[in-house]
Amino acid sequence: MHQLYYQPDGYWFGDCMPFCHDGQFYLFHQRDTRMPGPFGEPFGWALARTTDFVHYEDLGEVLERGGDDAQDQFIFAGSIFAADGVFYAMYTGYNRDYPAQGKPSQVLMLATSTDLLHWHKTPEKLVMPQSGYDPYDWRDPYVFHNDATGEFVMILGARKLDGRKVRTGRTVAFTSTDLKQWDFQGDFWAPDLYAMHEMPDIFQMGDMWYLLTTEYSDRCKTVYRMSASLDGPWRAPADDAFDGRAYYAARSCSDGERRYLFGWVPTKEDDDDRNNWQWGGTLVVHEVTQRADQSLGVKPPTGVAAAFAPARALRDAPLTLHSQDAAVDALLARETGDLFKFEADITFTKSTRAFGIRLYEDATTGDAYAFLLNLDEQRMTFDRTPNLPWFRYMNIGLERPLRLNVGVTYRLQLIVDGSIATLYVDGVALNARMYARPGQALALYVVDGELNVSNATLAQGVA
């Protein structure tokens, strides 16, 4: 099990609906039992509460699902919001048996609460799939108040019915003044890029609006667009994501000062590096940052970074790895353990082709996992090395664009908790899973060039 990242005992963490109230984050989420597999048993919304993303209070299931004949046989994703002293949960009622009966399987429904712990479900099916949209893909509502118009706005994921076309996913919008009557406003963002838009989210940071969605037909990850207006147009930054394939269904939430991203790192089938990803896994939280060009980056939350035991220096002096035409490495630690944080400052010379971190390495054979930062290709990837016999890790989508400059000092931050590794570099994050773990060593390496390393530290376990 994980010691730092959150996964409730006996369950796998699914889509998260975060809400901040009185300095605490209420993380409403789905819990999967994997009996017999993902989506095997129906679920409602469970709740975990935290202030630091390290210590969690498990409050169990607070929004219970309906019976097998009810529209909300499963309670799919939605959002939490407050209005006039009342808390609202707008959620997706899903019944997997309804399509065979000719009924829409997904309908938007509402529950209310005065304390975020005890919920009363209203009987109405508030928002049915609209004409021309797929009645089996109509979910994940997100509600916010538009102060400029005085209305509530609800966005959700949908699919347009257009013959046999697949890439008809879109985000649609409704407006309301009373949270009961919702008026359809049509497509909010319809790029015709993805089969479906899941877990839409929208927020303003400074004078820029950011629209998030998660897609599963292109790169299978959370992406975003930005605009100076809620009316668009929505443009993509050079890097339109927050993480790689192993970070899904991310929703954001702010405490009024900082904004955080709540997504889950999926498991792999049969806990095998070579297998495909599964729905659900473990919660990992990123803190969202805004760059000078108004694009978004991420970093580890302060509470997570500070949770570790005191760090020890791995070198008494700065380290230089140099080679004109080969790979050169340096062993930094022989025993890292299952929970650790590695940090270092690095610079590189103009001729450098690539450098990286090897972790859980067998120091005798060199068998390891590796984060590779390829400077020529301007990307960061994760894989097993050596990849022999081909292939040893199914890593499609475990990559991020990364543009680093010569002579600039960058901070590497690697957090490992059990089978999860999270690397942060210059506002770019990449999560991965590791199941085989051939050894316990940690090493740095450079390919065709020079890497200068300083302030390398290792913190093992929590304080």
Are 113 and 196 part of one and the same domain?
A: yes
Last residue of a domain, one of 305, 324, 351: 305
Are 201 and 136 part of one and the same domain?
A: yes
Are 116 and 261 part of one and the same domain?
A: yes
Q: Please indicate, yes or no, if residue 369 is contained in any of the structural domains.
A: yes
User: Both tokens of residue 463?
Assistant: 């304080």
CATH number for the domain harbouring residue 388 = 2.60.120.560
Q: What is the pLDDT of residue 187?
A: 98
Are 321 and 361 part of one and the same domain?
A: yes
Burial of 413 (0-12, 13-18, 19+ CB in 10 A): middle
Q: Please indicate, yes or no, if residue 154 is contained in any of the structural domains.
A: yes
Are 107 and 248 part of one and the same domain?
A: yes
Q: Please indicate, yes or no, if residue 4 is contained in any of the structural domains.
A: no
CATH number for the domain harbouring residue 94 = 2.115.10.20
- List the chain pLDDT tens, one digit each, 463 residues: 789 999 999 999 999 999 999 999 999 999 999 999 898 999 999 999 999 999 999 999 999 999 999 999 999 999 999 999 999 999 999 999 999 999 999 999 999 999 999 999 998 888 999 999 999 999 999 999 999 999 999 999 999 999 999 999 999 999 999 999 999 999 999 999 999 999 999 999 999 999 999 999 999 999 999 999 999 999 999 999 999 999 999 999 999 999 999 999 999 999 999 999 999 999 999 999 999 999 999 999 999 999 999 999 999 999 999 999 999 999 999 999 999 999 999 999 999 999 999 999 999 999 999 999 999 999 999 999 999 999 999 999 999 999 999 999 999 999 999 999 999 999 999 999 999 999 999 999 999 999 999 999 999 999 9
Are 384 and 239 part of one and the same domain?
A: no
Q: What is the pLDDT of residue 124?
A: 82
Q: Quote the pTM value.
A: 0.97
- Beta-bridge partner residues of 253: 260
Neighbour tally for 260: CB within 10 Å:
20
Boundaries of domain holding 139: 12-305
Q: Please indicate, yes or no, if residue 47 is contained in any of the structural domains.
A: yes
d(CA 245, CA 262): 15
Contacts of 253 (CB under 8 A, 6+ apart): 18, 19, 20, 25, 259, 260, 262
Are 235 and 351 part of one and the same domain?
A: no
* Nearest residue to 461 via CA among 430, 416, 420: 416
Q: How many domains does the chain have?
A: 2
Last residue of a domain, one of 248, 274, 305: 305
Q: Please indicate, yes or no, if residue 3 is contained in any of the structural domains.
A: no
Q: What is the pLDDT of residue 125?
A: 82
Count helices and strands in the chain by DSSP H and E runs: 1, 30
Q: Please indicate, yes or no, if residue 2 is contained in any of the structural domains.
A: no
d(CA 197, CA 142): 12
The answer to whether residues 96 and 78 touch, using CB atoms and an 8 Å cutoff, is: no
Last residue of a domain, one of 270, 305, 340: 305
Are 298 and 316 part of one and the same domain?
A: no
Burial of 24 (0-12, 13-18, 19+ CB in 10 A): middle
Are 194 and 74 part of one and the same domain?
A: yes
Neighbour tally for 378: CB within 10 Å:
11
Are 121 and 189 part of one and the same domain?
A: yes
d(CA 65, CA 75): 6
Which strands form 198-205's sheet, in the order they lie side by side?
A: 198-205, 208-215, 221-227
Are 299 and 336 part of one and the same domain?
A: no
Q: What is the pLDDT of residue 355?
A: 99
Q: Please indicate, yes or no, if residue 56 is contained in any of the structural domains.
A: yes
Are 283 and 325 part of one and the same domain?
A: no
Q: What is the pLDDT of residue 126?
A: 84
Q: Please indicate, yes or no, if residue 411 is contained in any of the structural domains.
A: yes
Q: What is the pLDDT of residue 420?
A: 99
* Nearest residue to 367 via CA among 382, 384, 354, 355: 384
Buried b (16+ CB within 10 A) or exposed e, 297-328: bbbbbeebbebbeebeebeeeebebebeeeeb
